[in-house]
Amino acid sequence: MSIQTASLGDLEKAENIVVAQCLFTAEHNAPCPALVTHYTLGKGQYKLTVPKVGQATARELTDGVDMVDTQDIDLTYEEAEPNEIGLKFILTDKLVRQFNEDVFRVIGQQMGDAMGRKRDKDVITLFAGLNNTWGLDQTTITASKAHAFCTLAVTYKFPGKLSCVLHPNTLGVLSKAMAAVASTYYAGIIPGPHAELLRNFWVLNLNGVNFYHDGNIEKYSTTDSGYGAIFAKVAMGVVESKAPATERQRDASLRAWEVVTVTDYKAFEVDGRYGGRLQYEMGDSGTT
């Protein structure tokens, strides 16, 4: 067990610092959770069930002739059950006295980074399971390739406003090929409470699709590429039964305080038909 050793002071104020810093860093750490659908479970609910229906077909009719064809609802379900996610610090009284309030800011940022990174990576993990696949290992992204998969997303009937998330190196190559990164495209960012956050990660807009960079996308161990994705908001989701909360607990014999942050959520695929995984090179660009 790791104990951070070395004032009791105003602990209520210190706790507020941890909470504020944790929430700030978690919200500004990564873009993916803000680009998917959010669900919240109420008291007494432990699982989310999302129904999906198939497509019905309308047919021409003949006057005076009864309709004989019937349609099938073709009802299917996606289920998601949240899991608890958390982390803990133990701060000794001596350490708190020496660092005063700053130590709480430090662990608040660490907690927020960890929570934001975990949630972001959980969504990124879903990219590999999306129904459509575009790109290939050893393939460098180009403007024409990006235009092609943006067009295919529309052809395959991805609904609503679309987003594309790529590794910063991949998106850097694309933005250079596009030779246009301008604030005039900001109007295309998905509206809502996450709009300002997403501006931190937005790079360009192509064919109505907003492109965002995410450094949490990882390379495969044997290649120099990894999966980004283009998707509709309804392709993936995050269901939450408990928002991140921070608590402190006194351990008198240890002369220390435990600071714990816990949340309860699950990232899951809602409808993989409305997303496509994108595999392009992610190597560092040359600087010499």
What would the pLDDT profile of 193-224 be if each residue is shown by its tens digit? 566 667 767 778 888 899 998 989 988 766 67
9, pLDDT greater than 60: no
In angstroms, the CA 221 to CA 161 distance is 33
Average pLDDT, integer, range 93-109: 75
Q: What is the pLDDT of residue 145?
A: 94
| Range of lowest pLDDT (21-30, 236-245, 247-256) | 21-30
Greater pLDDT, 237 or 65: 237
What would the pLDDT profile of 217-228 be if each residue is shown by its tens digit? 988 766 677 899
Mean per-residue pLDDT over the chain, rounded:
81
Average pLDDT, integer, range 275-285: 90
Q: What is the pLDDT of residue 11?
A: 47
In angstroms, the CA 173 to CA 282 distance is 9
Backbone conformation region of residue 147, classed left if phi is above 0, alpha if psi is from -120 to 50, else beta = alpha
Whether the pTM exceeds 0.85: the reply is: no
Domain-wise residue ranges, the chain: 11-281
Q: Give the pLDDT band of residue 257 (cuts 50, 70, 90).
A: confident
Fold (CATH) for 11-281: Major capsid protein gp5 fold (3.30.2400)
Q: What is the pLDDT of residue 18?
A: 61
Greater pLDDT, 258 or 103: 258
150, pLDDT greater than 90: yes
In angstroms, the CA 77 to CA 133 distance is 23
